[in-house]
Structure 1
Amino acid sequence: MPDLPPLRDVIARHGLRARKSLGQNFLLDLNLTGRIARAAGVTPGMNVIEIGPGPGGLTRALLAAGAFVQAIEMDERCIGALSELGEAYPGQLTLHQGDALKVDVTTLCPAPRRIVANLPYNVATPLLLGWLRQVAAFDSFTLMFQKEVADRLLAEPGTKAYGRLAVITQWLCDVQREFNVDKAAFTPPPKIMSTVVTLTPRPAPLAPANWECLEKVTAAAFGQRRKMLRASLKPLNLDLEALGITPTARAEELPVEAFCTLARAIEYS
């Protein structure tokens, strides 16, 4: 492995003070970044897409594991540090400066491909939802979120965290909690704990449904989550009893499959 300088030295030399506006919290613990790469199942020759690499802590672990990394970084200050890392691993790292929300990452490298990233917290959820629209294009996603967002991804019916994000994500993917990451592992430390999760696309969605219709019904149901479904879904003119849905139930009580039933009813009504 190349003899690389400590990340703190790289940050100081390139003046990489984390910017709150970019949702930056740099991960400097190389034992931890190695653990993320292992959780993602990174092996030599694998195509990996990383979002927001910053000074390159996780990037080092991915490259050391032998991956070919496509890194998207919005902050031009980080490009110099990442370029040095690319020189240390010739041919393994390709940099793309820009906004990941505007990039079709499926065009960056051939399949099979995985996304492994410590996501910028301010855009983590919209990034994930964008990728889920192309879920079949990916082998897996191993991502770090704020713990409260990870809890929402993993939430089960009947819990406070269960909502639209859980329904959409679990409809398309198996979601696994890998481990929590203490805020002290970051520079600067965020206000709350983080969690690494792996999302593995299902061979087929949990139940048949149209994305737009599923979004519509979950928005109506969870937008008034304390109301009974007969009230929150009244504008959709659905015969809940005929669909096998208890009208007096609330949104958080329904499993993903039941929301798919409602979505199909909207689509074909």
Structure 2
Amino acid sequence: MCSIKIRPKKYLGQHFLIDKNIAKKIVCSLSFKGYSSVVEVGPGIGMLTQYLLKIKTLELFLIEIDVEAVNYLRQEFTFLKDHIIHADFLKWEPSITSFALIGNFPYNISSQILFRLLRYRNSVPECIGMFQKDMAQRIVGKHGSKIYGIISVLVQAFYEVEYLFTVNEKVFFPIPKVKSAIVRFRRKLSSLERTDESIFFKIVKSGFNHRRKILRNSLKPLSLSKSFYTMPILDKRAEELSVDEFINLSKSARYFS
């Protein structure tokens, strides 16, 4: 399985994992609790796939955009033929009601994958993802740090996130120029009840898009109620607020009327 039988494509951001021990470690990071289906994104040469198949209680689906990889996977895992889906994950509309997500995510679309995860969060109780190391650090970043931003707040509002381990660049083919890292996401009970989620997303994005400004100024374009802009917490900058403070701030927000 370690021999590369298909050509990695630069435009797809393909870097195939070729280390079996790392592959096992990634698969073992799943809890296998609360779901019976797993969706693997970008299986490539099937390095993770072979170990996911050892979990007999799981129904496995593979989403792969590369037609050459799809043909290879269908030959290698003939019994999975109907579960190997030739599609762009960013456009794929799942019909499965509950599933874990796992994959060596292409670095060039990792942010889009995270927003896709948030969109389908009610169906995805757990996710194990391979990211570029600096992206992984941003995902788990805490308030008060320079790496804390939009991705940190939005993801942590819905998932408990954990930086599991760093992955050396030499376990991939071709070898990337950066280190990678594995992050685990476990969905948490919603803390956004009685919150207008659209306002929450807008506050977070607007706050960090002007992160040098205090929030009272960066949030002015949202035209929220006059009483909202009198709140003392708006004297802070976005990076100073915790995820819970962003949520509580959003619960106090109302559009101007």
| Normalised TM-score (structure 2) | 0.89
Bigger mean CA deviation after superposition, 119-128 or 199-208: 199-208
- Number of aligned residue pairs: give it: 252
What is the one-letter code of the residue matched to 2:13?
G
Residue equivalent to 1:264: 251
In terms of fraction of residues, the more helix-rich structure is 1
Residue identity over aligned pairs, in percent, reads 32
Partner deviation per Cα, 1:119-170 (whole Å, 9 max, x = no partner): 1222121122122122121220111111111111101000011111111101
Q: Distance in 2 between matches of 1:257 and 1:60?
A: 40
Residue equivalent to 2:147: 161
Relative distance call for 1:91 and 1:99 in structure 2 (3 A) is closer
Residue equivalent to 1:69: 60
Give the 3-state SS of the residue equivalent to 1:56 in structure 2.
coil
Preserved CA contact (<8 Å) 1:157 1:254: yes
Structure 2 gaps, min length 5: none
What is the one-letter code of the residue matched to 1:125?
S
Give the 3-state SS of the residue equivalent to 1:259 in structure 2.
helix
Residue equivalent to 1:58: 48
Task: Map 1:1-269 to 2 at 5 A.
Answer: 6-8=1-3, 11-12=4-5, 16-42=6-32, 46-66=36-56, 67-87=58-78, 90=79, 94-105=83-94, 107=95, 109-111=96-98, 113-205=99-191, 208-237=194-223, 239=227, 242-247=230-235, 249-269=236-256
Q: Distance in 1 between matches of 2:140 and 2:192?
A: 15
What is the one-letter code of the residue matched to 2:248?
T
Relative distance call for 1:251 and 1:166 in structure 2 (3 A) is same
Structure 1 gaps, min length 5: 1-5
Q: Distance in 1 between matches of 2:238 and 2:221?
A: 15
What is the one-letter code of the residue matched to 1:252?
E
Relative distance call for 1:34 and 1:28 in structure 2 (3 A) is same
Q: Indicate the RMSD between aligned Cα atoms, in angstroms.
A: 2.2
Question: Following superposition, which runs of at least 4 residues in structure 1 exceed 4 angstroms of deviation?
Answer: 237-242
What is the one-letter code of the residue matched to 2:238?
A
Relative distance call for 1:92 and 1:210 in structure 2 (3 A) is farther
Q: Distance in 2 between matches of 1:129 and 1:59?
A: 24
Q: Distance in 1 between matches of 2:9 and 2:189?
A: 39
Relative distance call for 1:93 and 1:46 in structure 2 (3 A) is farther
| Normalised TM-score (structure 1) | 0.86
What is the one-letter code of the residue matched to 2:75?
E
Q: Distance in 2 between matches of 1:93 and 1:30?
A: 25
Q: Distance in 2 between matches of 1:68 and 1:149?
A: 29
